[in-house]
């Protein structure tokens, strides 16, 4: 079994009086799909935003490839090879697929002039590598794409940057059955290419189909770490709603 590529050790985060995360351990290995589950407000988004460096954790350590790292913003995260696909994909509707995949990181010939053909070639290669075949043309404007296609473009964008860890926040929440299928296939293929994939989802059915392991959060604490093949959906539901918390809420200050 591979060593974890990304590991959080005892990370905490509070917003005012709200303890959004408390001493959470979390890890993901190359080539696996790690699901992150939990009720609304459990702290899932806070965990990935902390990893992305959108805000710092109050305490705890983040290790990347075994070494402690400080991530101060999305730029630092991308430099390490961590890419996040947020729930609202943030694609520019008026730009084509290639332009969106390279937005803000356009390849240029001499700092100013865009190198369209090399960008297009790279975009095609990435999409083909992920077997995204439903796109008519990479020069199609994103406004004309379906929800599943848009998600595919956002994921391909994340994968293209030599990323090692791709984090997806509720990638199927807004999709129909067939399009969810597309995205789940895509997630599986990413892991097969030895990427570490973290997927946040409320849909246990999806998770059981695609995830290798499951981390469940409850009220800001990591309550269980399952291997998907060894548990049932009931076990996970129980963990989400009534999992045993290691630290007693309200007792944090005294130390455990």
Partner 1 sequence: MSTPSTDEVPSAAPKRKDPTTFAEYLQSWWLRVQSGDLGFLPIIVGLIIIIAIFGTLDSRYFSERNFTNLLLQMAPFATIAIGVVFVLLLAEIDLAVAFNSAVGGVIMTLLLRPDDPGLPWPVAIAIALAVTTFIGFVMAIVITKAGVPSFVVSLAFNLGLNGVVLILMLEFSNSGTIRIADETVKDISNAFLPDVWGWILGLAAVAAYGLSEAVKYRTRSSQGLPNKPFGILGLQFGGLALLILGAVWYANIDRGVPFVMVVLGFFLLFWSFVASRTRFGRHVYAVGGNPEAARRAGINVDRIRIIVFMIGGFMAGAGGIVLASRLQSVATNSGGGDLLLNVIAAAVIGGTSLFGGSGKVVSALLGALVIGAVASGMNLQNVNAGVKFVVTGLVLLAAVLIDALAKRRQAASGVR
Ligand X SMILES: Nc1ncnc2c1ncn2[C@@H]1O[C@H](COP(=O)(O)OP(=O)(O)O)[C@@H](O)[C@H]1O
Residues near partner 1, by CB under 8 A: 74-75, 86, 88, 90-95, 99-100, 103-106, 108, 111-114, 117-118, 120-121, 124, 131, 133-137, 139, 141-149, 176-179, 181-182, 185, 188-189
In the bound state with ligand X, the residue whose beta carbon lies nearer, of 82 and 160, is 82
Q: How many Cα neighbours within 13 Å face the side chain of 88? A: 3
Residue 2 vs 121, nearer CB to partner 1: 121
45 near Mg ion, rule: CB under 5 A: yes
Q: What angle, 0 to 180 degrees and rounded to 10, lies between the N-to-C axes of helices 147-160 and 116-129?
A: 110
The answer to whether 21 and 43 are in contact (CB under 8 A) is: yes
Terminal-to-terminal C-alpha distance of the chain: 32
Q: Which backbone phi and psi does 214 adopt, to 5 degrees? A: -135, 130
Which residue, 9 or 14, has its beta carbon nearer to ligand X? Answer: 14
Q: What are the tokens at 156?
A: 């391909």
State the minimum distance, in angstroms, from the CB of residue 44 to Mg ion: 5
Scan residues 103-162 and list those touching Mg ion (CB under 5 A): none
Q: Is 172 in the site for Mg ion (CB under 5 A)?
A: no
Q: Tokens 């509707």 correspond to what residue?
A: 93
Give whichever of 135 and 174 is closer to ligand X, judged by the CB atom.
174
Q: Which residues bind ligand X (CB under 6 A)?
A: 15, 18, 20, 38, 40-46
| Cβ-Cβ contacts under 8 Å for 67 (sequence gap 6 or more) | none
């Amino acid at each position: 079994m591979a060593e974890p590529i990304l590991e959080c050790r005892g990370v905490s985060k509070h917003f005012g009086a709200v303890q959004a995360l408390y001493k959470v351990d979390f890890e993901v290995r190359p080539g696996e799909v790690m699901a992150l589950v939990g009720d609304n407000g459990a702290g899932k988004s806070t965990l990935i935003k902390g990893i992305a460096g959108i805000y710092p954790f109050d305490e705890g350590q983040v290790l990347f490839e075994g070494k402690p790292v400080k991530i101060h913003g999305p730029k630092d995260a991308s430099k390490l090879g961590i890419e996040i696909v947020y729930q609202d994909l943030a694609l520019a509707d008026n730009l084509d697929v290639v332009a969106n995949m390279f937005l803000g990181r356009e390849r240029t010939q001499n700092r100013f002039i865009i190198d369209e053909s090399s960008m297009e070639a790279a975009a095609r290669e990435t999409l083909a590598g992920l077997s995204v075949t439903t796109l008519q043309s990479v020069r199609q404007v994103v406004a004309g794409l379906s929800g599943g296609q848009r998600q595919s473009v956002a994921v391909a964008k994340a994968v293209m940057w030599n990323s090692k860890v791709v984090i997806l926040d509720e990638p199927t929440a807004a999709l129909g059955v067939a399009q969810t299928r597309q995205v789940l296939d895509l997630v599986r293929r990413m892991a097969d290419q030895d990427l570490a994939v973290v997927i946040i989802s409320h849909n246990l059915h999806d998770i059981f189909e695609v995830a290798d392991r499951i981390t469940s959060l409850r009220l800001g604490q990591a309550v269980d770490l399952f291997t998907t093949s060894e548990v049932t959906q009931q076990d996970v539901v129980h963990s989400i709603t009534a999992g045993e918390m290691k630290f007693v809420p309200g007792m944090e200050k005294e130390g455990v």
